Amino acid sequence: MKIVVISDIHANLEALKALPEWGDELWVLGDLVDYGPNPREVVSLLRSRAGIVIRGNHDQAVGFDDDPRCNLRYRRMALETRDLAIQSMNGDLTRYLQQLPLRRTVERDGKKFYLCHAAPSDPLYSYCSENSERWAHEVQEIEADYLLVGHTHIPFIRKQGSTTIVNPGSLGQPKTGKSDACYAIWCDDHFELKQFAYPFNETLRKVEQLPVSQEVKRDLEAVLVSGPWLMTEREHSCRS
C-alpha cells in the first residue's frame, strides 16, 4: 500500500494538479484554502479525491468566518484572501470545511496513524518546529506509530520515543527557500519526503489578478517564489 500525504495546499490549484502520485490513498492534513487564488476548485477536487481530510486553521477561518490567528507578517495576507475564499464558496463547500475533523486515528497494515493539522494538544494553532521540545509531551497524549502533522510548511521526519513524527511540508506555499511543492509518501512501513516543481508562474499570474491590495500581492508572490520568511517557533504565532 502506498499512502500520499499532503498538507497546506492553500488554494494552489497548479501545485495540487501537478502532484506526481496520488497513491492508493491520499491524506490531507489541513489548510486547503486561504492565500492562494483557487480555493473553491481545490476544495472541490480534494473532496472528490482524498480519503482523509483534516481541518486546518485556515479551513476553520474560511468555514466559520473566523480569525486564523496569524503572525503579523502573514495576517494581512490571510485576512484579505480569507474574505475572497468565503465569497467563492457555496453553502455545500462551506459546510464541508466546517465538518472536517480536527483529528483522526486510523490503522493501515497493522500500524496506527494519528493525524492532525498542528499538534495533538492544540490541533488548529500550535506551532511546533522539528526540534521543539514539546514533541515529547505531544506524543504522550496519543498512542500511535506515526504522528502526522502540517502547519509549519517545513518538512521533517523525527523519531520521538516509539512514535515517528512526520510533517510533509506544504504543497501550495512551501517555506523551504525554493518554490518546489512538498509532500510525503508511506510505503512498506517507511516514510519518504519528496518535492517537485510545478508551474508556479501560472499561480503567480492568478495572484496578480486577485482583488487584494498591492502589498498583499507582492507578499504572496514572494512566499510562493522562495518561501523567505522562515520564522523561529517564538516568532511564528500563526502558525501559518
Q: 186-190, 201-205, 229-233: which range is least confident on average?
A: 229-233
Does residue 34 sit within a domain?
Answer: yes
Averaged pLDDT, 130-138: 95
Task: Kindly indicate the confidence band of residue 71, based on its pLDDT and cuts at 50, 70 and 90.
Answer: confident
> Looking at residue 226, what is its pLDDT?
80
- pLDDT tens digits for 77-123? 999 999 999 999 999 999 999 999 999 999 999 999 999 999 999 99
- Rg of the chain taking only CA atoms, in angstroms: 16
| Owning domain of residue 165 | 2-226
Averaged pLDDT, 123-140: 95
Does residue 60 sit within a domain?
Answer: yes
Task: Kindly indicate the confidence band of residue 228, based on its pLDDT and cuts at 50, 70 and 90.
Answer: low
What is the CB neighbour count within 10 angstroms for residue 87? Answer: 10
Going by their DSSP bridges, the two strands 181-187 and 25-28 should be labelled as: unpaired
Averaged pLDDT, 3-12: 98
Please state, in angstroms and rounded to a whole number, the distance separating the CA atoms of residues 67 and 63: 11
When divided into structural domains, the chain yields a total of: 1
- pLDDT tens digits for 143-183? 999 999 999 999 999 999 999 999 999 999 999 999 999 99
Indicate whether 231 pLDDT > 90: no
Instruction: Indicate which CATH number applies to the domain containing 181.
Output: 3.60.21.10
> Looking at residue 236, what is its pLDDT?
43
Does residue 239 sit within a domain?
Answer: no
Does residue 44 sit within a domain?
Answer: yes
User: For 11, which DSSP code?
Assistant: T
Does residue 74 sit within a domain?
Answer: yes
Going by their DSSP bridges, the two strands 2-6 and 181-187 should be labelled as: antiparallel
Does residue 24 sit within a domain?
Answer: yes
Please state, in angstroms and rounded to a whole number, the distance separating the CA atoms of residues 36 and 54: 18
- pLDDT tens digits for 24-51? 999 999 999 999 999 999 999 999 999 9
Determine what percent of the chain is predicted with pLDDT higher than 90.
90
Name which of 155, 159, 189, 199 is nearest 175 in CA terms.
155
User: For 202, which DSSP code?
Assistant: H
Indicate whether 230 pLDDT > 80: no
- Asked whether 7 and 117 are in contact (CB, 8 A), the reply is yes
